[in-house]
Structures are given as C-alpha cells and as structure tokens.
Amino acid sequence: GHFECPPYNQQTIRSAYHVRNIEVFKLKQLKRPIDIFMSHDWPRSIYHYGNKKQLLKMKSFFRQEVESNTLGSPAASELLQHLKPTYWFSAHLHVKFAAFMQHQANSKEELPKATKFLALDKCLPHRDFLQIIDVEHDPNAGDSLEYDAEWIAVLKATNSLVNVTQSSWNMPEKNGLHAKWDYSATEEAIKEVLEELNHNLKIPCNFTLTAACYDPSKPQKHMEPVHTINPQTTEFCAQFGLTDINDRIQQAKEESSVRGEYEEEEEEDMDSTGSAEEPSEYNTDNSGLSSINPDEIMLDEEGGDEDLSTCSVDPSPDHPPDFSASFSDIRIMPDSMAVSSDDAMDSTNEELEKSGGNKQAEEKSLNERPLKRIGGNENGNSGIKKIKRRNQAIYAADDEDKTE
C-alpha cells in the first residue's frame, strides 16, 4: 500500500518511489486507445526492438543486464504489452535510444498495433536530450487540459482497493478466489462520470501554493520536509468520491500517535522485516550488479561523499514467480517481448533517430571521468536522507565540456 509520508526514515525514503501493484492494475483496466505513455524507467526488453548493438557500444555497462534481460521495469513492460500505446517515452538511463515494437494481434479481426519508443539523454551540453515529434490532434478538440472520463470511472471502480498500510495487498485476478476481477469502465460508468461533470471535462485552474517559493538568497539546506495535504487533490477526490490517500495516511498516523503506538509499531516492523517494503521476489540488493551507470543520480544510501553510482533493481531470473505475493502476473515476460536480432533497426526507427548520430566519442571517457557531487550533510544532524543532485553546477564546470 501507499503508506509513506514525510518525515521519511531510512526505509520509507526508498520505498516511497517504488511502483505499486495497484497502479499497474488500474492502468491495465484502460481499454480505449492510448496515444502517449510516459514512464521514468524503460520497459524491460524494449532494447531488443532497436539498435541494441549501438546501445551497448555507447553504454557498455548495460551488457550484463541486457543479455540476462533484466534491464528496465517489468511493470512497464507488462503495461506496454497490454496498452499498446502509439508512443512510449522514457528517461532514466541517460542515453538516446529509439525502438519500434510490433504487437501481436489478439484476434484475426484485430489490426496489429505498434509502439514507437524513444528515450533521450541527460539535459546537458552536447547531449541528445531534445527531439521534436508531431502528434496528430483532433482539430475540433479544445486546447485546454481535460479529464479522461474512462480513467475517472476506473478510479471510482477501484477505490475500494486503496490501501494505506505496509501490508501486502494482492490485486483481484481470475483465479477462483475473487468474485470480481474486471474493473474496467463500462459505457454506463463513463456516462455517469460525464453526467456528474455536466459533460464539461475541462480541468479547473485551481492551483494553490502549498509551500514557500525557493529564495536563493536564503537557502535552507537542512529544512525537514513536512506532510502537506494538497487542496487540489482534496477537491478532486471529493468531487468523484475517491479516497485522498495523503489525507488517509495523515489520519492513520494521528490515530496511531494518539494511542502512542505509531513509533513503536514502526520500529517493530522495521526490526522484524528489515524493510518497510512487502516481501517480494524482486531482489532489492543491487550491490552485486555490474551495470553501473555513472550518469545516473541516486539517493545517497549512507550519507557520505562516495562516488555517485547506481544500477537498476533486478529480479532473479532463476526463481519462478511467487503468485502469493503482489504483482502476481507481472513477473512473467510477455512472449512478444523476448525476441529480436542484436542489430534490429526497423525503418520506422529512422523517424525517431534521424536527428542524432551516435555519441561514441562523447561517451568513451565517461567511466574514466571523476564524478562530482554538490552538497552534503556536513553536520550529519538530521538523520534524513538528502537527494543529492550534481546538475546545478554543470554549466559552470569548464572541465565538463572539455572532456566531452
């Protein structure tokens, strides 16, 4: 469940950004066509559908995970297979890469769909971080952002599945144990949403400032984050009868605090499990992986000033899926994502790759270049992990451009 909130501790600052099985489950309920899907991490196996040879030439430290098919997110790969969007954009690995994935048709009557994948490099000088893509737009549609009636109907249907505790929470599936497993939106449910909104899907401009603007003349390096209930989220949830997760977490925290149990229970949970995360087949110990991306920014696990490095979390391919845990079927890679040639480069990729040649000369000294880090916990008095970013001074660093 979603249970983390500021102030974070050693466990929750890590688990807070993990993908929840309920989010994957909700997205899988969508049936209508999707033009664009965006994810931070790449879908696992997407590298088989582009110029894999060039990718490994530019980022040789990906080789072990590419060859074992463990690079990227298995959750994203399942959604890619299920939703079949026209475009999929990702970031995370800091390299430009395009791919073209032809999906298998579910029936003879269905026309096969394809997804154009594009990831871009870091936003730094001399890097491929920008590309313009034209996407068709309905000329009769307005220019303002609008709610999606199908998605709201899915949120309403799955609201009872929301969990704000650390407990494991398995999603319903067609296995004989659940009376209902299909939470996709019916036409009637979508019609009800439209009637609730009086057929006006325009998203209100109700932005509210919830935190003070940053003042560079008065930097507050060690200010602890506070748990804020966002009024826009509150209004949205109230309008559609949805659970405001942040508000529920705050309520649960206050109730436990009143009983004097919150801190004790949290300590017991951490001592007994070693982690705030639910048991999972996914191996979160990435110390043994060799695919370290020197470009990637990570949360500082120890609070020291060691070299910045990271690698992706990696499930064990040697163990069969444990269907008693969450993500019950997400661990099974779709057949259509398991094959391709090493140098497959579909002609459609040229549309996405046309603006950039490879950056081998740019990248070849990357592993040899000393890595810099801005900031640090000089006093060591907060006990809270800091997100350390090194982009802030990059444009002022002359040696950065020289090396590239």
Residues 142-164: pLDDT tens digits?
888 999 999 999 999 999 999 99
pLDDT (mean) for 281-307: 47
**pLDDT tens profile 218-242:** 888 888 888 889 999 999 999 999 9
Question: Other CB atoms closer than 10 Å to residue 87's CB: what's the count?
Answer: 16
- The verdict on residue 14 lying in a domain is no
- The verdict on residue 200 lying in a domain is yes
The radius of gyration of the chain from alpha carbons, rounded to an integer in Å, stands at 23
Q: CB-based contacts of 321: which residues, under 8 Å, 6+ apart?
A: 281, 328, 329, 331, 332
- The verdict on residue 387 lying in a domain is no
Clarify whether residues 211 and 160 are in a common domain: yes
- The verdict on residue 110 lying in a domain is yes
Boundaries of domain holding 58: 31-134
CA 271 to CA 280: how far, in whole Å?
17
- The verdict on residue 235 lying in a domain is yes
* CA distances for 278 relative to 12, 183, 241, 282, 332, angstroms: 12, 24, 28, 10, 19
User: Looking at residue 138, what is its pLDDT?
Assistant: 85
User: Looking at residue 319, what is its pLDDT?
Assistant: 40
CA 331 to CA 283: how far, in whole Å?
12
The answer to whether 328 and 173 have CB atoms below 8 angstroms apart is yes
The helix-helix angle for 187-196 and 231-240 (nearest 10°) equals 120
Encoded tokens for 269: 């949970």
**pLDDT tens profile 242-262:** 999 999 998 888 887 777 655
The helix-helix angle for 245-258 and 262-273 (nearest 10°) equals 100
**One-letter amino acid of 282:** Y
Clarify whether residues 121 and 167 are in a common domain: no
- The verdict on residue 350 lying in a domain is no
Clarify whether residues 149 and 255 are in a common domain: yes
Clarify whether residues 149 and 252 are in a common domain: yes
Residue 82's pLDDT band, with cuts at 50, 70 and 90, is: very high
For the chain, the average pLDDT equals 75
Phi/psi at 297 (5° precision): -95, 135
**pLDDT tens profile 325-346:** 333 333 344 444 444 444 445 4
Structure-model confidence comparison of residues 265 and 203, the more confident one: 203
Which domain-ending residue is among 198, 229, 259?
259
Report the percentage of the chain scoring pLDDT > 70. 64
Which domain-ending residue is among 134, 158, 181?
134
User: Sign of dihedral through CA atoms 63, 66, 68, 70?
Assistant: positive
Beta-bridge mates of residue 386: none
Residue 309's pLDDT band, with cuts at 50, 70 and 90, is: very low
CA 205 to CA 390: how far, in whole Å?
34
Clarify whether residues 68 and 167 are in a common domain: no
* CA distances for 21 relative to 28, 79, 159, 348, 361, angstroms: 11, 12, 14, 33, 41
Clarify whether residues 115 and 158 are in a common domain: no
Clarify whether residues 252 and 212 are in a common domain: yes
- The verdict on residue 16 lying in a domain is no
Q: How many residues does the chain have?
A: 404
CA 385 to CA 117: how far, in whole Å?
34
Clarify whether residues 48 and 97 are in a common domain: yes
* Counted domains in the chain: 2
The pLDDT of residue 400 is above 50: no
Which domain-ending residue is among 108, 134, 160?
134
Clarify whether residues 113 and 171 are in a common domain: no
Clarify whether residues 192 and 219 are in a common domain: yes
Clarify whether residues 180 and 120 are in a common domain: no
- The verdict on residue 37 lying in a domain is yes
Clarify whether residues 199 and 239 are in a common domain: yes
Selection from 166-170, 305-309, 311-315 with the highest mean pLDDT: 166-170
Phi/psi at 208 (5° precision): -130, 135
pLDDT (mean) for 308-312: 35
